Amino acid sequence: MGGMTERKEWEIMQTKYWMANPSAEAADPAIIEAAKYLRSGKLVAFPTETVYGLGADALSTEAVEKIFRAKGRPSDNPLIVHIADPGQLDALVLEYDTSVKKLIEAFWPGPLTLVLPVRPGAVSPRVTAGLSTIAVRMPDHQMALHLIRAAGCPIAAPSANRSGKPSPTTAEHVRNDLDGRIDGILDGGPAGVGLESTVVEWADGKAWILRPGGITPEDIRRLGLAVEVDASLLSIAEGSSDAAPRSPGMKYRHYAPKGTLSIVQGDDSRKVRAYIQERIDEAKAWGEKTGILAFEEHLPHYRADVVLSCGTQDDLSSAGKLLYGALREFDRAGVSYILAEGCREDGLGLAVMNRLQKAAGGRSIHI
C-alpha cells in the first residue's frame, strides 16, 4: 500500500466512542457492539486494570497488522494476548510446569503476563513477531473480561498509545493519541494500576522478570518460586547493558515526554531537593519551561512552571497511578526541562523506577 492511500485511510476513519460503567453487565450494548467490531477485524481500545489496551482478533493477521500501523509500532515487537478464562491458555501454549499453574492461581486475573512456548498456529504469526514464545494475560477488569468473552476469540492488545508515548491510563489519553486511527474506544473510566503488567518468562525453573509491573518479584518469591530480575532492569545498569533484552519491547525508548527529563536520586532527601531546585532555577534562567515531578510530601518545597505529584512515598501504588498522566501533562503544558525525584527500587518501586528511567532515556543523577 502506498503512503498516499494509507494517509487517506486514516483521514476517513471515524472512531466510535462508547461510554460504559466499569462494572457494566456482560449484556451492556456498548460491550456487545465493541465485541462485534473486534470479531469483524476492527481495532477497539478498552480499559484494563493496568492501562488501556488496543485490541484486535489475535487470530486475524489482517487485524493484527492494523495495530502495528495505528500505533507506529516496530513489527519485531510482539503483542500480549488477552484471555477471559485461564482455560483458554491451553489452546495458545504448549505444556507448562506446575509452577506456572501456581502463578496463574495466585495472580490471574491480574497484572501478570506469562511468556510461554507458543502452540504453533494458535495465533497469527504477527502477534508473536516470529518468536517461539507467546505472552498471555487475563486482565482483572470486568469490562475487559466481558468484552473478550463476547468477542469469542483471544485478543491481541498492546497499550493503546502511539509508539514512544506513555501508556494511556484514561480513554482521553487514547483519544489524544489514536482518534481517527482506530475503529473504537470503550471508555470505562481510569485504569487502576497505571503501569503495564509484569512480564514473566518461565524458563529453567525460574520466573524471569522481563518487565516489572504490578506483581512484584517479592509477590512471586512469596509463592516459594525462584525469581530472576534481569540486571538491565535496575536503574544502575541502564544504558550500560550490552546483552540483548529477553523482551523485545524493553529495547525501545518508551514513555518519553517531549521535554528533557532527568531523575535525581540520593540518600539525603534534603540534598536532593536543594539540587533539583538549583538546577530548575538555572534552567528557568536559560529560558526553559520547567517542570518537577515529586512526591506529595515534598511539593511545598519546589518552585517551577509546573510541579506535579507522583503520589506518596509511603504508598508507591499512587506513583504508579499518577506517573503516565503526569508525563502527558508536562507535554500538554509545553514543559521543556523536567527533573523527577527517584524512589527506592523494591516492591512496586522497581516498576516505577523502570518506567521513569525509560522516560528519562537513562539520564539519572546520583547525588
Q: Which residues bind ligand TXA (CB under 6 A)?
A: 48, 50-51, 53, 77-80, 111, 113, 115, 128, 131, 133-135, 139, 157-159, 196-197, 199, 210-211, 247-250
In terms of Cα–Cα distance, which of 132, 180, 191 is closest to 157?
191
CA-based Rg of the chain, rounded to a whole angstrom?
A: 20
* Of residues 235 and 354, the one with the C-beta less far from ligand TXA: 354
Q: Which is nearer to Mg ion, 197 or 232 (CB)?
A: 197
Residue 113 binds which of ligand TXA, Mg ion, none (CB < 5-8 A, kind-dependent): ligand TXA
Going by the DSSP 8-state scheme, the letter that residue 233 receives in this structure is G
Among candidate residues 138, 146, 141, the one with its CA nearest the CA of residue 29: 146
- The nearest distance, CB 239 to Mg ion, in angstroms, is 20
Of residues 159 and 216, the one with the C-beta less far from Mg ion:
159
Q: Of these partners, Mg ion, ligand TXA, none, which one is at the site of residue 128 (CB under 5 to 8 Å by kind)?
A: ligand TXA
Could you tell me the smallest distance in angstroms from the CB atom of residue 196 to Mg ion?
A: 6
The H-or-E segment that residue 39 falls in is helix 29-39
Residue nearest to Mg ion (CB): 159
- Asked whether the beta carbons of 162 and 76 are under 8 A apart, the reply is no
- Residue whose CB is less far from Mg ion, 159 or 265: 159
Of ligand TXA, Mg ion, none, which one sits near residue 135, judging by CB under 5 to 8 A according to partner kind? ligand TXA
Cα distance from N-terminal residue to C-terminal residue, the chain: 52
CB 53 within 8 A of CB 111: no
Residue number with CB closer to ligand TXA (247 or 262): 247
- Cα 299 to Cα 307: distance, rounded to the nearest angstrom: 7
Q: Return phi, psi of residue 297, to 5°.
A: -60, -25
Q: Closest separation between CB of residue 323 and Mg ion, Å?
A: 14
From the list Mg ion, ligand TXA, none, partner contacted by residue 136 (C-beta under 5 to 8 A by kind): none
DSSP code per residue over 59-74: T-HHHHHHHHHHHT--
- Which of 54, 49, 25, 5 lies closest to 159, judged by CA? 54
Residue 335 Cβ, how far from Mg ion at the closest point, in Å?
A: 23
φ and ψ of 128, to 5 deg: -95, 0
Decide which of ligand TXA, Mg ion, none touches 219; Cβ closer than 5 to 8 Å per partner kind.
Answer: none
Q: Which residues bind Mg ion (CB under 5 A)?
A: 159
C-beta closer to Mg ion: residue 117 or 361: 361
CB atoms within 10 A of CB 80: 24
Q: How far apart are CB 365 and ligand TXA at their closest, in Å?
A: 27
Cα 303 off chain centre by: 30
Q: CB under 8 Å to 50, separation ≥6 — which residues?
A: 111, 139, 167, 191, 192, 193, 194, 195, 196, 197, 213, 214
CB closer to ligand TXA out of 111 and 320: 111
217: partner contacted, choices Mg ion, ligand TXA, none (Cβ within 5-8 A by kind): none
User: Least separation, in Å, of the C-beta of 65 and Mg ion?
Assistant: 17
Contact of residue 305 among Mg ion, ligand TXA, none (CB under 5-8 Å per partner type): none
